Structure 1
Amino acid sequence: MPDLAEVRHMLDGLPPEELARLQAQVRAAVPDLWVPNFGPQLAAQNSPADELFYGGAAGGGKSDLLLGLALTQHERSIIYRRQYTDLGALVDRSGQIVGHTNGLNRSPPPIFRLPERIVQFAAMAREEDKQAFKGRPFDLIGFDELPDFTESQYTFVTGWNRTSKVGQRCRVVSAGNPPTTVEGYWIIRRWGPWLDPRHPRPAKPGELRWYAIIDGEDTEVWGPGPVYHPKTGQPVINPATGEPVLARSRTFIRSGVADNPDMIDAGYQNTLAAMPEPYRSAYLEGRFDVSLKDDENQVIPTRWVMEAQQRWTAETPFGLIPMTVIACDPNGGGRDRCILSPRYGGYYQPLVEVKGIRVDDASAVVREVAAVMRDRCPVVMDMGGGYGGLPTNMLKSNGFTVVGFNGSAPSTARTKDAANLAFFNKRAEAIWRLREALDPAQPGGSHVVLPPDDELRADLCAARFELTRSGIKVEPKEGIKERIGRSPDKGDAVVMAWSEGERASAEAVAARNREWGITPRGQETTANRGYAHIKRKHG
């Protein structure tokens, strides 16, 4: 099949009368209001995927794809932008495609009523705005600039992608460029086979992969189903219907300005080429592996976290040095998770995520901690919210060393740099201490080694700070939840394991030495020991 450039070359070579005759034939054969461009846009229209992410580079006709599908392929459609002020261009473009605005109501929320079709436009500026669309069915749900949304907004509203009309297809189509802030990084995880260069089973553009929710996790399976549990081998049952779970297909189709004749003619490629990095690579080339742009008040730079993750290796210092500490962020009940973060010196093992623990089941939390713990290392327990009290008492009664962490407690510490700044509270101190440990410019470089976990990276890079009269203040956890759509539990556990882990480990070692009558001399720090092992093995 010829590509777009070849088709344009052939059309440009036709005499004017033959070109006019061809155009008339196409219009007669295609009565729809909108016809996709040849190439990725046409492939996206014809894709059988239940969930399609379209785009990558700018200028590939992303918004037109959403509007064209809504106006020609679907009965009830809704197209979202994150901010309401961004809907105006979409609404105007819909009128241009139709050729009139009869039936278009611009009053919030804008809605276009056409014979046999309804197209609604909506925004979700705040995280809780997703609740306004609960239970409202649409056979097409579209997202324009998907990285601007949180993952929970996306997964929540797409749960109502359905129809009662026989023969009407249902699908979710999203459009967007590569994320330029860490809050949008979730799309790389969700479409990992296409976008993540580290994925073990990469997929080609347009290739279908199948996914289902198993034990609360988005899990890739081998076909549409019925879906079988990977551990038990039994069919996964939908608790609401009692029927076997069927998987949904997912794909990604890449597009760019070179696939859009209108943008080529307008010289949009030159505009994109003149943009500074990382926007040029993201918008012109559609690269998902470019460095993200940090917020000017971001506590921990993204590059530092990525470098710490690149140092990681699956070979744990287990057996060479004792486990330094294990941090526990107990769940708050419901859908919350219990997160455990074990570390050996500067080396962090992959975080352990436990779901399904009742908020009042302290013994379950203790069992999980004991299962991961090695060398009877100390435990750092998050006491915020009051969920850590019972597990702490139970661990102490069994002879374990437990250090409580209360982020709202006052701090008397100061930054290690020349500014010698104070901290607003213990939480700000803890996050800043990890920032200092990750700084590659410190003497000897950073000794922190973090597991390659995309969610952890987003958590650690999400926090913002401000300078107040009381010192460095990190934004409340609720503010982070609002931006990323979930609680940064993994990041919290890693922060606790670092900030309180050194103190807890030192106290535990001192207590053990006193008990054994040992006077330690010249011991290497626990942080350096973990990283030194990796450097000796891997350079």
Structure 2
Amino acid sequence: MTISFDDVLDRLSGLNPAQLAEVEKEVMKATGEMLWVPNPGPQTEAYYCEADELFYGGQAGGGKSALINGLAVMNHERSLILRRIREDAKKLAEAELIGRLFDGSRDGWNGSDLVWRYGKKLIQYGGCEMEVDKQRYKGDPHDLICFDEVTDFSETQFEFITIWNRSATKGQRCRVVATGNPPTSATGLWVIRRWGAWLDPNHPNPANPGELRWYIRNEQGEEVEVNGRGPHGYAPEGSPIEAKSRTFIPARLSDNPDLFADGEYSRTLNLLPKALRDAYRDGRFQASLEDDPYQCIPTAWVQAAMQRWTPQPPINVPMCAIGVDVAQGGSDNTVLSPRHGSWFAILIKVPGKDTPGGTDVAGIVISKRRDGAKVIIDIGGGWGGDAYAHLRENGVDAVSFMGIKPSVRRTQDKKLKFYNIRTEAYWSFREALNPDQPGGSQIALPNDQALLSDLTAPTYVVKRAHDGGVIHLEPKEKLKARLGRSPDDGDSVVMSWFDGEKQFNVRGGYRVRSSNAAPTVNLGHSKMKRKR
């Protein structure tokens, strides 16, 4: 029989003062030798949580940093505690480990390496400011790995570093703990996707706080929820595939007596701007995100487009375009974004390893294309060149997209130029999403957290030239380094809008230009034709 912490509280509420005093005496006796004791409530639930991967988060001041330091000191041999900025990790160690747990004692502390040693115990603190910094932790095993303020990290940093969550000590428990508040920028939205069963209101199978869910990865590299640890099949070498458990426990300021008692921290949170107040005071994971001042596409505009979306495209509006971001091999996806007028279909994502050549990409595009839709395919870096050539050979209306080429167009108000085609494409999509245009925006996007993150991540600057201002979008390589991944989903949508028919350039309404019959496909020599 499993007894929850709430069950314990219910039982305690029925005791008289004398009985409560006796319980308190017993508790103090049992915990007298402990260096750290979690606060009653969510922090205690998190301390004893059995999940392989725990996210303890929500309101500011819920004792999140104290939890991970307490776990490291009390339950683990080799611990790694990370903040995105190394100097912040040092401050965390000196405040929580040295200042709180050991009353200022620096015995065993190496301030240069940010390592604390006590007997067999080791606690390492570190930062991961740049995406490449994750390599510092490669091959270095830790039975406890903690990400403090996890929404500051990229998902690729999180997944790479946790590979080495292991121990050679028999019986030593291994776990990953993430702490943090709701993301205040779109780059942290991966956290809502990863813990979607608890945090995403649109999740098809929501979970209760503290409930364990189990996950494995399929052959396509996608996470799949399964029932229990398993095994769920066997790896090629014959070892069983076992799932790992995950959960989320909400942290609350009211459960932290150190900060909640005098009300001072509560007053501080009450005075924050609304977006930060929603995130830090209220712990709302669906709070409004705080945009970067130079964010190309405002988050609220994308969210509004997702609220307009319906499962089916508008009646009598054919498929007008397909944006294609190509990945030939590697860890990225080949992504297709079919568009019917202003309505975008759910993205089609195929692992790059399944599209190693141009013929593979072209075959997928042709199989998904309808109504003579124009295909806009990215050939930057040479990845999409072969696919583009195969499409053209087969009579497909395809145009090449090379983002680095100079642009000759201007913004709708004719005031600013674009540095290159990529800038023009993103800014044109921004203009299409603008709710203040006559009639408002008609763009409808599928509700996809990864797409929301991709579209709202790029920033821009306006530079002066001899003939006026020029908008420069954040270079793609710089954006990839900041995100830790390629913004394939966003790029495919933007390309889909960049060309092809739209309501304002179609006279007399949309019309289907070709049937949906399977076309004749030539993926090789001109004489080698076959029916698909």
Partner of 2:473: 474
Q: Is the 2:320–2:372 contact (alpha carbons within 8 Å) kept by the matching residues of 1?
A: no
**C-alpha offsets along residues 390-438 of structure 1, whole Å, 9 cap, x if unaligned?**
1111111111111111111111100012x62101111100000000000
User: Given the alignment of the two structures, is residue 271 of structure 1 paired with residue 245 of structure 2, yes or no?
Assistant: no
1:353 Cα offset (Å)? 0.4
Match of 2:40 in 1: 38
- The answer on 1:113 being equivalent to 2:117 is yes
- The superposition leaves residues 102-155 of structure 1 with CA deviations (integer Å, 9 ceiling, x where unpaired) of 111010x30000123111101100001001111111100011100000000001
Q: C-alpha deviations, 1:146-187, integer Å up to 9, x for none?
A: 000000000110111110111110000111000001110110
Aligned position for 1:94: 97
Counterpart residue identity of residue 35, structure 2? L
Partner of 1:74: 76
Superposition map of 1:446-485 within 5 A: 446-470=441-465, 471-485=470-484
- Name the amino acid aligned to 2:260: I
1:220 aligns with 2:239: no
Q: 1:336 Cα shift?
A: 2.0
Post-superposition shift, 1:501? 2.8
> Are 1:166 and 2:162 counterparts?
no
Q: 2:304 aligns with which of 304, 307, 310?
A: 307
SS in 1 for 2:417: coil
Task: Kindly provide the CA deviation profile for residues 231-252 of structure 1, in whole angstroms up to 9, marking residues without a partner as x.
Answer: xxxx2x435x531211100000
On the 8 A contact 1:405/1:500 being kept in 2, the answer is no
- Aligned residue number for residue 206 of structure 1: 210
Cα distance in 2, alignment partners of residues 98 and 151 from structure 1: 33
Distance 1:4 1:308 in 2: 46
Q: Matched residues in 1 for 2:197 and 2:161: separation?
A: 23
Report % sequence identity.
46
Q: Which residue of 2 aligns with 1:523?
A: 508
Superposition deviation, residue 98 in structure 1: 2.9
Kept in 2, the 8 Å contact 1:39–1:259? The answer is: yes
2:290 maps to: 293
Q: Residue type matched to 2:225 in 1?
A: E
Q: Deviations over 1:5-44 (max 9, x none)?
A: 99999999789xx979956961554422110011101101
Aligned residue in 2 for 1:144: 148
Deviation at 1:60, TM superposition (A): 0.6
Matching of residue 494 in structure 1 with residue 493 in structure 2: yes
Correspondence for 1:367: 363
After TM superposition, the score normalised by the length of structure 2 is 0.88
* Structure 2: distance between partners of 1:8 and 1:28: 17
| Displacement of 1:444 | 0.9
Aligned to 2:195: 191
- Structure 2 distance, partners of 1:211, 1:260, is 32
How far did 1:208 drift? 0.4
Go from structure 1 to structure 2 and tell me whether the alpha carbon gap of 1:68 and 1:104 turns closer, same or farther (over 3 Å shift): same
User: Are 2:317 and 1:321 aligned?
Assistant: yes
Distance 1:137 1:178 in 2: 29
Post-superposition CA distance 1:334-372 (Å, at most 9, x none): 212111111111111111001144675111111100111
* Residue 426 of structure 2 corresponds to residue 422 of structure 1: no
SS at match of 2:330: coil
Per-residue displacement from partner, 1:488-532 (whole Å, max 9, x unpaired)? 0010011111112349x97xxxxxxxxxxxxx9x43479xxxxxx
In structure 2, what is the Cα distance between the partners aligned to 1:218 and 1:206?
20
User: Does the 8 A contact of 1:334 with 1:358 survive in 2?
Assistant: no
Alpha-carbon distance, 1:322 to partner: 2.1
For residues 13 and 416 of structure 2, the distance between their equivalents in structure 1, rounded to whole angstroms, comes to 64
Contact persistence 1:257–1:263 (CA under 8 A)? yes
Shift of 1:254: 0.5
1:253 and 2:242 are equivalent in the alignment: no
**Larger displacement relative to structure 2 (441-450 or 27-36):** 27-36
The aligned counterpart of 2:399 is 403
Taking structure 1 as reference, are residues 248 and 30 closer, same or farther at Cα in structure 2, changes over 3 Å only?
Answer: farther
Shift of 1:220: 1.3
Task: Please say if residues 31 and 37 of structure 2, whose CA atoms lie closer than 8 Å, have aligned partners that are also in contact.
Answer: no
- Measure the CA separation in 2 of the matches of 1:308 and 1:150: 25
Q: Please, which of 343, 349, 371 is the counterpart of residue 347 of structure 1?
A: 343
Name 2:516's counterpart in structure 1: none
1: CA distance, partners of 2:404 / 2:328:
17
TM-score (structure 1 length as normaliser):
0.87
1:44-83 CA-partner distances (Å, limit 9, x unpaired): 1111100000020011100000000000000110000000
Cα distance in 1 for residues equivalent to 2:480 and 2:471: 20
Residue 418 of structure 2 aligns to a residue whose secondary structure is: coil
- Structure 2 counterpart of 1:438, which letter? L
Residue-pair matches, total: 497
Moved more, 216-225 or 340-349: 216-225
**Matched-pair contact (CA < 8 Å) for 1:292–1:302:** yes
Q: CA–CA distance in 1 between the matches of 2:17 and 2:356?
A: 76
For residues 143 and 398 of structure 1, the distance between their equivalents in structure 2, rounded to whole angstroms, comes to 50
Residues 490 and 138 (structure 1), Cα distance of their counterparts in 2 relative to 1, 3 Å cut: same
Matches within 5 A, 1:2-21: none
Contact 1:11–1:19 (CA under 8 A) maintained in structure 2: no
SS at match of 1:135: coil
**1:188 & 1:389 partners in 2: Cα distance?**
36
Partner of 2:515: none
CA-to-aligned-CA distance 1:272-308 (integer Å, 9 cap, x gap): 1221211112111111111100000000000100111
Corresponding position of 1:514: none
Structure 1 position 485, deviation (Å): 1.6
CA distance in 1, matches of 2:344, 2:258: 51
CA distance in 1, matches of 2:77, 2:63: 22
- The runs of at least 4 consecutive aligned structure 1 residues that moved more than 2 Å come to 1-15, 18-25, 27-30, 356-360, 500-503, 522-526
Using the alignment, how far apart are the partners of 2:374 and 2:23 within structure 1?
81
